[in-house]
Structure 1
Amino acid sequence: MFAGAGVTLVVLAGAALPGAAGAAAGAPAASAAVTLGATPLGADVAPWDSVFSNSATFARVSPLLKAAGISQLHYGGGVTADLYNWQTNTDIQGCAPNTAFAEFTAKCANTDGVDFGLFSQKARSLGAQSFVTVNYGSGTPALAANWVTESAKAGEAVTNWEIGNESYGCWEVNNWLADPPENYHGYVAGDSTTCPDVTQGNDAGMQTMATSYAANAKHFITAMRNVEPNVRIGVPWAFGNTVGGASVNDNTTWNDTLFSTDGPDINFVDAHWYPFGFGGATDPTGVKKPSDYTVIQSVKTIPSLYAQIQAELNTYAPGAQVIVGETGVSYLPTNVPCTPAGALFAAGDVLEWLAAGAQTVDWWPLDNADNTTDQCVNPEEAMFTSTGAPTSAYYGYLLASKLAQPGAQLSVLSTSSPDVLAFQSVLPGGKVAVALINSSTTSTRKVTFGSSLAGSLAVQNYGPAAGTTLGKITTGPTTTAAAVAGGITLPIESIVVLSERTLKPSTMTLTGSASVKAGTKVTLNGKLALNGVAAPAGVSVKVTRKVTSGKGTSATLTAKTVSGGGFSVTDLPPATGSYAYQASYLSNSYLPASASYAVKITAAKPSLKLKLSATSVKPGQKITVTATLGAPHVNKTLVIYAQPKGGAKRVIKRATVNAKGQISVIYPVKANTTFTLVFGGDTWYTSGTLTAAVKA
């Protein structure tokens, strides 16, 4: 039995664990693992949050949040973020459209229950870092900068700052639209029918909104970094209309415009993922809603969505991180968070995003005042009721926290059933944990899966239970990795977490040249030891190349050890700049090992030749001028200039070199003439010039 503040978790029938058996033939292997950051799990707290504003309720919730590993709290409150003044602790949600910034002290302004000081106090008591969305829609750069200054006070530190909430959407107040560069005076704050996306159409309207935000966000960034140069700043990512909630039709225009303008200045993007709008299968009463099974299965779309974000960042903001600042079942007119489906969705949601590469996943919200007692009976999207009773979403996070721990190596596992989601985590201490989620609401599922589990395993089960709509967590009888390898039967609509012992240690080293001329291959040499002994020949090592500065690209390479545990890899970076190479090893029997090495690719001087067929001629005689470019170049264009004595310098030949790397031109010499060869440079080589002269 597990007991927490206000919650009792009792025994229910758990997973049917088979007897000992050999490893299943052809069991699928794990995907590449992702190392989790310091704050994988988070939650959203609004200024109007009743859990944080009530000391007794917070005392009830605090141990539950700690147990679930909540390490980041996102302060802003959705649309309230663009209506909120942190200095007065008021929002203008109830004020008339086009309410001026000065009216945060007007009678129409609402005083909120959780000011920044109280929020910071509660976050510190939980050991969580703060993520704050500043007021872009009705605020100013100065207000944001003052907030950054305030956060320097003891106990009020903020790790991440975002400029505006979902500023791509017409549901957000955006008073900057009426200012340069757009001067879109047809917009009335708070009136979505006047939004450019509506009045101008999707493409033109989104271009108006994106151009305005990209330009004005720079003013916020400048003001905030003027008071704290190292402040971490992010901006909103927009999903397309294949995502149900908080999405827009022309998200590509928003993302391309924003990141091509502000990409170099940001540290992260904030993606809000709600997989459903008001749509889906229609029930007999006419209310549109997806089935519980569809809700849980929707998390399978996350890897492709993350790939879209990462591709954009690779182009415009290499090194920027992805934070899922809001996610959940908002927009669903159902009681999913009050049923086991809510826990299954929440666990699958957070684990899929983290396994894809997200830094933190924040559940929206902590409390939404939908249920004002301990009973979760009304359609709900929050993690807790207003009295501090957990909903099923909390249980999903609690179970996910068994895998989603700082520094863990998290991966997605393949299984023999499409209804079962599976994840593996190699924890920092070496223990392995696996979560299996059966999304079927009608049938048990017996599945096989490949994993690194070994030895004796602890078992936790979650699923429907008598006496509660939320479902319950139980501790099941222990089993072994050998038994599980033969397959495991999962109860209907359930989560099963298997946890095991510490793996044997492994170590790795990586060396190479710290600086290499462009166009020259980088050679890295490493050694892998397993449990203190050199690895045998043939062990696979993954080597990734990441850009730390410059315009290069990332890449993944592979190597195999030779006798003695050594391995080597060669690479040709595509451009000058700084790169970080990381070699990593992952197996079923040993702790992950990794080693990093930094390499700087410096521009090389081009090899240029300028040859004249004669250096002394009679006036009017023609000569041949031949220019040669050495090693292969990205830029193959050469320019030849001629400047007669007393005359102007002009281009006599501009062309792409031939297969021999040459261009040539015949030139009539009328006076002493100086010829100049110019190469403009490229991603590998610096620019260069060369001169030659002829007398006449």
Structure 2
Amino acid sequence: MLAASVGVGALAPSAVAAPTVDIRVNAGTSLGTVPSSGVGLNTGYGDEHMGDPKPTSLMKAAGVRQLRYPGGSGADDYHWKTHTYGDGSGWIPSNTDFDHFMAIAKKVGAQPILTANYGSGTPKEAADWVKYANVDKGYGVKYWEIGNEVYGNGHYGNGKGWETDNHADKSPKEYGKNLVAYSKAMKAVDPKVKIGAVLTTPGFWPDAEKAPGDTADWNNTVLSIAGGSIDFVIVHWYPGGKTTADLLNTPSRIAGVRSSLRSLIAKYTGSRAASVEIAVTENGAVGSPAQTSQAAALFAPDTYMTWFEQGATHVDWWNLHNGTDQAPTTVHGETDYQDGGILSAGTCAGGKCEPPRDTPFPTYWGIRSLTALAKPGDTMVKSSSGNSSVAVHAVRSSTGGLNVMLINKNPQNAAPVSLSYAGFTPAAGAVTTVSFAKGDTALTTAKRGTAVAQKLPPYSITTLQLKPAPGTAGADKPTPAPTPTAPTPVVSAPGTTGTRAQGEMGAPVGQATPSSTPGDLASTGASNAVVTYSALGGLLVIAAGGVLVLRGRRRRGSYGR
């Protein structure tokens, strides 16, 4: 059982052998297919190294199938045609303009998702971008977000906010009205484009908030106006946590968030509701003690797969390169560089430097572990664990096999597991495993254990690649699972809405309730908060209730603009 201590959630050594964890896999019940471009990554126009040979090769090997551009909050300041931001006086690398980005996406084999400038742009500027991308250049860019975290524009009383918004009216009503205008202008150029609406994440500030003059909260207002003009909704997922144990338990909250979003979509899009997608265009461990160390590596695949199982079509990790201005910390015996990127930016802080640029952090390997589990189009099947200290995800491959990912969240103790199956009979004998354990610097493929018994190393990801027993390969294909009983929609905790100092991530400050083979896969608010801004105007630190939330959107190097 997870028993968190102060800070990083350390677990006390067990005096007796750990109990066996029961894992059940129902390979005959489908949770849907792995989305073709689901595993995504954020890239920013400030990252002059995103197109270098090593990063592009590493992204491709990790199965990255979607790249988000031109950045986080920087997107609401970015003018694509001139490749400038703000008033144009700031420096931007010349090799990160739109055409360079598209060349990078092609090398990686990733679909682009673009964020149109809502904060300082116009519907015409966005429509011109669609014309250039899809008519003039033939890039066929399908997904377009309208703005980044527009609700962070100061409308909810948090000063000027962190998000550029030059509209005189910064209300959700104004955003909804302009969202319709953007959609109309962009679809007039290319009717095939899909338009995304920025929503607040249910249960996270400023969800359910009403500013003076508002008749409803952000999500209800925006969708009541623009529900007929959009094709997907956008949320950001930074669940944070005071301890690593908190972080590793957050995927259990995703079902409730999805339920709330689906309820909103059904309310405002009517007969189109089933076709309106959910995109998690930023996701990461920012706000927790671990950002580059092993806990974050375990969090990554668990979060991706849980969102996919709940029907999300895109999940984009923040960030390729990020950098940091924070001194490294030690988390469960490992150095954590407090950097939101998956590859080292080579920055220095507090007299200590990161590894050489483009060195993969453990988070990279956590994401790359997904390539051992699934390919796009494979079928996700039901699975369950008898103990929350071990997470499980299972996928039926197109070749008839079954892959099972097991994540041991205990940093100190190995976890013996016993597995049982329905709808699939595994072959006898030792099985192929692909693992990433604490201290590893690559994925390791080995023959280990059997299909029914494994011993998971502490703080590890282990994927079993199972073949069917002889004579059973023609077993029935998985059948769709019945529509799950909807969890209670997420609501903000009492007394936590209406707080005025929030992080740029649009998430709560604090916690609420060796193989190198390339892969194919692609609430609460806070009180008494202190906000610190960088020289470039980006939010860096929020300290609330003893929790330090760091955000690298505009840190040294400006990688994540």
Q: TM-score, with normalisation over the residues of structure 1?
A: 0.57
Deviation at 1:267, TM superposition (A): 1.2
Q: Unmatched 5+ residue regions in structure 2?
A: 1-20, 154-161, 211-215, 327-333, 346-356, 487-561
Cα distance in structure 2, aligned partners of 1:296 and 1:471: 21
Residue aligning to 1:33 = 31
Instruction: Give the residue type in structure 2 aligned to 1:161.
Output: W
Task: Decide which structure has the larger Cα Rg and report it.
Answer: 1
Instruction: Give the residue type in structure 1 aligned to 2:58.
Output: L
Q: Check conservation: 1:90, 1:111, Cα contact below 8 A.
A: no
Deviation at 1:131, TM superposition (A): 0.3
Cα distance in structure 1, aligned partners of 2:58 and 2:446: 21
Pick the structure with more strand per residue. 1
Matching of residue 160 in structure 1 with residue 143 in structure 2? yes
Residue aligning to 2:237 = 273
Matching of residue 366 in structure 1 with residue 357 in structure 2? no
**SS of aligned partner of 1:495:** strand
Instruction: Give the residue type in structure 2 aligned to 1:42.
Output: G
Matches within 5 A, 1:255-404: 255-276=219-240, 290-317=242-269, 318=273, 319-332=275-288, 334=289, 336-370=290-324, 378-386=337-345, 387-404=357-374
Q: Check conservation: 1:403, 1:410, Cα contact below 8 A.
A: no
**SS of aligned partner of 2:340:** coil
Cα distance in structure 2, aligned partners of 1:459 and 1:123: 31
Residue aligning to 2:462 = 496
Deviation at 1:29, TM superposition (A): 4.4
Q: Check conservation: 1:409, 1:426, Cα contact below 8 A.
A: yes
RMSD: 3.2
Deviation at 1:369, TM superposition (A): 2.6
**1:47-94 CA-partner distances (Å, limit 9, x unpaired):** 1113325xxxx21122221221111101121100000001111112xx
Cα distance in structure 2, aligned partners of 1:166 and 1:324: 12
Change (3 A) 1:27 1:342: closer
Change (3 A) 1:303 1:450: farther
Cα distance in structure 1, aligned partners of 2:95 and 2:417: 48
Instruction: Give the residue type in structure 2 aligned to 1:174.
Output: D
**SS of aligned partner of 1:172:** coil
Cα distance in structure 2, aligned partners of 1:167 and 1:463: 39
Cα distance in structure 1, aligned partners of 2:393 and 2:277: 22
Q: Check conservation: 2:395, 2:404, Cα contact below 8 A.
A: yes
Q: Check conservation: 1:430, 1:503, Cα contact below 8 A.
A: no
Change (3 A) 1:91 1:541: closer
Instruction: Give the residue type in structure 2 aligned to 1:35.
Output: T
2:66 pairs, out of 58, 69, 72, with 72
* Identical positions, percent: 28
Residue aligning to 2:173 = 211
Deviation at 1:119, TM superposition (A): 0.2
Q: Check conservation: 1:415, 1:449, Cα contact below 8 A.
A: no
Change (3 A) 1:478 1:155: farther
Change (3 A) 1:475 1:449: same
1:144 pairs, out of 126, 150, 158, with 126
Residue aligning to 2:197 = 235
Residue aligning to 2:426 = 454
Q: Unmatched 5+ residue regions in structure 1?
A: 1-23, 93-102, 179-183, 185-207, 281-289, 507-529, 546-553, 555-696
Change (3 A) 1:361 1:505: farther
Cα distance in structure 1, aligned partners of 2:315 and 2:478: 31
Q: Check conservation: 2:426, 2:468, Cα contact below 8 A.
A: no
**SS of aligned partner of 1:233:** strand
Deviation at 1:412, TM superposition (A): 4.8
Cα distance in structure 2, aligned partners of 1:51 and 1:221: 33
Residue aligning to 1:87 = 81
After the TM superposition, list the runs of 4 or more consecutive aligned residues in structure 1 that deviate by more than 4 angstroms.
24-32, 108-113, 246-249, 502-506, 539-545
Q: Relative contact order (C-alpha < 8 Å, sep 6+): which is higher?
A: 2
**1:629-682 CA-partner distances (Å, limit 9, x unpaired):** xxxxxxxxxxxxxxxxxxxxxxxxxxxxxxxxxxxxxxxxxxxxxxxxxxxxxx
Deviation at 1:26, TM superposition (A): 9.7
**1:447-489 CA-partner distances (Å, limit 9, x unpaired):** 3344446115211221113xxxx655322324432xxx2x422
Cα distance in structure 1, aligned partners of 2:368 and 2:90: 40
Residue aligning to 1:45 = 43
Matches within 5 A, 1:586-601: none
Cα distance in structure 2, aligned partners of 1:312 and 1:248: 13
**SS of aligned partner of 1:354:** helix
Matching of residue 123 in structure 1 with residue 105 in structure 2? yes
**1:609-643 CA-partner distances (Å, limit 9, x unpaired):** xxxxxxxxxxxxxxxxxxxxxxxxxxxxxxxxxxx
Q: Check conservation: 1:235, 1:268, Cα contact below 8 A.
A: yes
Change (3 A) 1:531 1:221: same
Cα distance in structure 2, aligned partners of 1:140 and 1:313: 26
Deviation at 1:234, TM superposition (A): 0.8
Cα distance in structure 1, aligned partners of 2:310 and 2:459: 24
Residue aligning to 1:574 = none
Cα distance in structure 2, aligned partners of 1:216 and 1:503: 58
Instruction: Give the residue type in structure 1 aligned to 2:69.
Output: Y
Q: TM-score, with normalisation over the residues of structure 2?
A: 0.69
Q: Check conservation: 1:151, 1:157, Cα contact below 8 A.
A: yes
Matching of residue 173 in structure 1 with residue 164 in structure 2? yes
Deviation at 1:402, TM superposition (A): 2.2
Residue aligning to 1:424 = 394
Q: Check conservation: 2:48, 2:93, Cα contact below 8 A.
A: no
Change (3 A) 1:407 1:259: same
Instruction: Give the residue type in structure 2 aligned to 1:445.
Output: A
Instruction: Give the residue type in structure 1 aligned to 2:454.
Output: I
Matches within 5 A, 1:189-200: none
Cα distance in structure 2, aligned partners of 1:26 and 1:352: 17
Deviation at 1:213, TM superposition (A): 0.3
Change (3 A) 1:90 1:540: closer
Deviation at 1:542, TM superposition (A): 5.0
Cα distance in structure 1, aligned partners of 2:90 and 2:109: 36
Change (3 A) 1:162 1:25: closer
Change (3 A) 1:26 1:69: closer
Cα distance in structure 2, aligned partners of 1:262 and 1:453: 49
Cα distance in structure 1, aligned partners of 2:126 and 2:39: 26
Residue aligning to 2:354 = none
Deviation at 1:154, TM superposition (A): 3.9
Name which of structure 1's ranges 489-498 and 290-299 shifts more when overlaid on structure 2.
290-299
Residue aligning to 1:204 = none
Deviation at 1:253, TM superposition (A): 1.4
**SS of aligned partner of 1:133:** strand
Deviation at 1:112, TM superposition (A): 6.0
Q: Check conservation: 1:233, 1:267, Cα contact below 8 A.
A: yes
